[in-house]
Amino acid sequence: MVAILGYSRDQIFAAVRDMYSAVSRAPDDGFHFPVGRPAAEALGYPSDVLDRLPKSSVEAFAGVGYPFSAQAIQPGDVTLDIGAGAGNDALIAAARVGDKGRVIALDLTRAMTRRIRAAAEESGVTNLSVLEASGECLPLADGSVDSITSNGALNLIPDKRRAVAEIFRVLRPGGRLQIADVVIRRPVTVDCSDDPRLWVECVVGATVDEELLAMFQDAGFEHIRVVRRLDYFSHSPSAQTREIAASFDAYSVELGMQRAAQAPSAIQHWSRRLNPMRGLRSLWRRGAAGVASLALAVLTCYGTLGALALLAAMGAGVGLNEGLWATAIALFAVLTVAAVAPGWRYHSNVGPMVLCAVGAAVICYALFVHYTMVVELIGFLVLAAGVGWDIHLRRRKQARVLGLKTAADY
């Protein structure tokens, strides 16, 4: 949610509609993502399944995985396809649910909903209805569907928590979800809020993989399984897209899960969301672990001194185990070096790590060899410079691959 604060939801919707209207109008035009039958086959759609679908649907396939690998759809189901696109998955689902079931294909883009209607008519499918709506606000009653499928849509939806809450709401208790979506391992940390084009043209809208799983867990889904991880972007015809994907460690994932009998209580929900381990992992992924370790080192050093001075002023004499105190500071300083080190692989500049190592060495010298406050302070400043440099280089690399600004401007 934080990542979209600066965005206009309408701008994102407009960019999505433009992009997928273009896919519907001319699927062969060449997009930055794989489209059509070769794309579907590369993602694992069996040839005989594709053979049974109308050509008009298959040619505009734009999914990112094969969600049916999670096997969530059963005969007789009322099934919803969110972001149905040209309708391939909806048509496959219509065959799976059979005459006793029915499928609702929902998409934001009118050109796509028209395509689905035409394809259903062409193939004589009568158990499929079409809705033009957003996944953030499903026009369906609570608990009205047995299973949901979605392929490549969630990463395009601005408010993902709301979309997941909607999925939970419309699924009946025990209902099943299969989903394929794009995820990233390295979050976007540069500000691209004024460019909704990036939502549809690259991975800016995608969620960090474990945060996506956590989002479903928070909403009340259980038995969450990662069925497959796919190197989806290696199929992209665009070298720039492949570079962006590599920079954010993007891939696609197929998930299967079940809606719990009831929604988690507010306590369960917030205790999961405020889990400190989640916070630490998020800091690490955002390249902010160096800042956190540096802050802990500074706090342990000057914060302890400040607290002792305050206690002394209040008349409470508290002793300080200097060895323990110095070891803790040194540990956090070394941790800062370790947190900055992975940046070397990312931005290919060893400078920040070397600077941090020098800073940590100076601090350790002051703590364990010959203490002077000035030397210790210089050590902290050098350490801080290394951390700041690393953040700058990480952001500059992201800005460059996203084409936000030239490396020199940033």
Ligand X SMILES: C[S@@+](CC[C@H](N)C(=O)[O-])C[C@H]1O[C@@H](n2cnc3c(N)ncnc32)[C@H](O)[C@@H]1O
The Cα–Cα gap between 268 and 333 comes to: 36
Which window, 104-112, 222-230, 236-244, 301-309, contacts ligand X (CB under 6 A)? 104-112
Least Å distance, CB 148 to ligand X, is: 12
Q: Is 97 among the residues that bind ligand X (CB under 6 A)?
A: no
Q: Is 83 among the residues that bind ligand X (CB under 6 A)?
A: yes
Least Å distance, CB 98 to ligand X, is: 21
Give 108 or 362: the residue with its C-beta nearer to ligand X.
Answer: 108
Residue 151: closest CA among 71, 64, 257, 227: 64
Instruction: Kindly report the number of other CB atoms within 10 A of residue 273's CB atom.
Output: 14
Mark residues 14-33: x for contact with ligand X by CB under 6 A, - for none.
--x---x-------------
Place of tokens 């849509």: 153
CB of 63 closer than 8 Å to CB of 84: no
Give 20 or 68: the residue with its C-beta nearer to ligand X.
Answer: 20
Least Å distance, CB 228 to ligand X, is: 15
Give 16 or 301: the residue with its C-beta nearer to ligand X.
Answer: 16
Q: Find the binder of ligand X among 88, 147, 236, 336 (CB under 6 A).
A: 88
CA-CA-CA-CA torsion sign (162, 214, 198, 230): negative
Give 153 or 326: the residue with its C-beta nearer to ligand X.
Answer: 153
Structure tokens at 141: 């009653």
Structure tokens at 6: 């600066």
* DSSP single-letter state for residue 193: T
The Cα–Cα gap between 119 and 114 comes to: 9
Least Å distance, CB 84 to ligand X, is: 6
Structure tokens at 315: 């008349």
Give 93 or 330: the residue with its C-beta nearer to ligand X.
Answer: 93
Q: Which of residues 341-400 bind ligand X (CB under 6 A)?
A: none
Give 146 or 201: the residue with its C-beta nearer to ligand X.
Answer: 201
Q: Which of residues 41-70 bind ligand X (CB under 6 A)?
A: 61-63
Least Å distance, CB 120 to ligand X, is: 15
Q: Is 112 among the residues that bind ligand X (CB under 6 A)?
A: yes
Secondary structure string (H, E, C) spanning 301-354: HHHHHHHHHHHHHCCCCCCCCHHHHHHHHHHHHHHHHHHHCHHHHHHCCCHHHH
The Cα–Cα gap between 385 and 56 comes to: 57
Least Å distance, CB 291 to ligand X, is: 34
Which window, 83-91, 244-252, 334-342, 344-352, contacts ligand X (CB under 6 A)? 83-91
99-136 per-residue burial string, b: 16 or more CB within 10 A, e: under 16:
eebbbbbbbbbebbbebbeebbeebebebbebbeebbb
Least Å distance, CB 163 to ligand X, is: 7
Least Å distance, CB 199 to ligand X, is: 9
Least Å distance, CB 69 to ligand X, is: 14
Structure tokens at 336: 């800062």
Give the CA count within 13 Å in the CB-facing half-sphere of 237.
11
Mark residues 145-184: x for contact with ligand X by CB under 6 A, - for none.
------xxx--xx---------------------------
Binding region for ligand X (CB under 6 A): 16, 20, 61-63, 83-86, 88-89, 107-109, 112, 134-136, 151-153, 156-157
